Amino acid sequence: MSTASTTSGRSVGHGRRAGIRRRRILSYVVMTILAVVFLFPLVFMFVSSLKPDSQILRDVSSLMAFVPYGDISLDNYRGIFDRVPVWRFLGNSILVTVTTVGLGLFVNSLAGFALSRLRWRGRGLVLAFVIATLIVPFETIAVPMVFWVSKLPTLGLENGVLVYDFGWLNSYKVQIIPFVANAFSIFLFTQYFSTIPRSLDEAARIDGAGWFTIYRRIIVPLSGPAFATVAILTFLAAWNQYLWPLMVVQQEELRPVMVGMQYFFQLDTAWGEIMAYTSLITLPVLVVFLIFQRQFIASVAASGVKG
């Protein structure tokens, strides 16, 4: 009897393990198919950047568009440097993006800390107002923002003399400061900080730590995934800015990489050079995501499960 029950238990355990193995294989197959589907546009872009325009147009209706064959060369990459000041645009985008990310992490995390850890009247109302701003499309406020930034005061040096003037147009700060505070980043920090035990705050307060010390010594070290997620999302938003720089920056030496796309649609459209240019400006985004992908996934999981 015991032998029969043991054999039955082993068969049930073996069947359960086989079922788990089949589900795991099926999930891997589905994820592989999805990965291939999402990678198709990137593969097409990188492969097309190596082909001449005539071959791109000939292959676009077939699977050969994803195969690097035929007249493969780096001529398109050399051509983009003749058409646009690529290094200048890249430098501008890197400066604007890095500054926006750095200031955004500090400002939005402080706001999230105040909304999640401090006790003060009206906190829920302020958080609701912050979340409500997410439903307002940027296009609806773009023109009023242009008006207001054109009226803001500014200080500068001219021949060693401090000059006071009005208007932020044609500057780096007009591309940075309006996008430092971000409603979604504040909400994400608030949600993540709320998952950290409040007993840590109480213990630190007993030891004489102030709120900023608690933020710097306790909350920030425990919130790496949240900071990585906000850094990625802010990086993407700042790097992909097109409409706003097009409206507020007319000087070529201040323009970011996305505005440089319009140079390829003037006179004749060079599809190979367009693919080479988009490939070049896509690489920094891929590198940033690959560096922070684990923290990004951990933050989304924590916010979705615990928040």
Q: Note whether residue 57 is domain-resident.
A: no
DSSP codes of every residue in 75-98: HHHHHHHHHS-HHHHHHHHHHHHH
Task: Count up the domains in the chain and report the number.
Answer: 1
Cβ distance 154 to 165 under 8 Å? yes
Would you say residue 26 lies in a domain? no
Q: What is the DSSP letter of 72?
A: -
Q: What's the whole-model pTM score?
A: 0.81
In a domain, 19, yes or no: no
Q: Which two tokens stand for residue 111?
A: 């706001």
- The domain containing residue 262 runs over which residues? 74-306
The pLDDT assigned to 179 comes to: 93
Rounded distance between C-alpha atoms, residue 307 and residue 299, angstroms: 11
**Any domain includes 22:** no
- Examine residue 286 and state whether it is found in any structural domain, yes or no: yes
Per-block mean pLDDT, blocks of 10 residues, the chain (307 long) = 54 68 86 83 89 87 84 88 89 94 95 89 89 88 90 73 76 92 92 89 86 90 88 91 91 90 78 90 85 69 50
Q: Is the dihedral of CA 236, 239, 240, 245 positive or negative?
A: positive
User: Could you tell me the CATH number of the domain that includes residue 296?
Assistant: 1.10.3720.10
In a domain, 158, yes or no: yes
Amino acid at 261: M
Does residue 170 belong to any structural domain of this protein? yes
- How far apart CA 252 and CA 88 sit, in angstroms, is 9
DSSP sequence for 17-56: HHHHHHHHHHHHHHHHHHHHHHHHHHHHHHHHTTS-HHHH
Q: Is residue 98 part of a domain?
A: yes
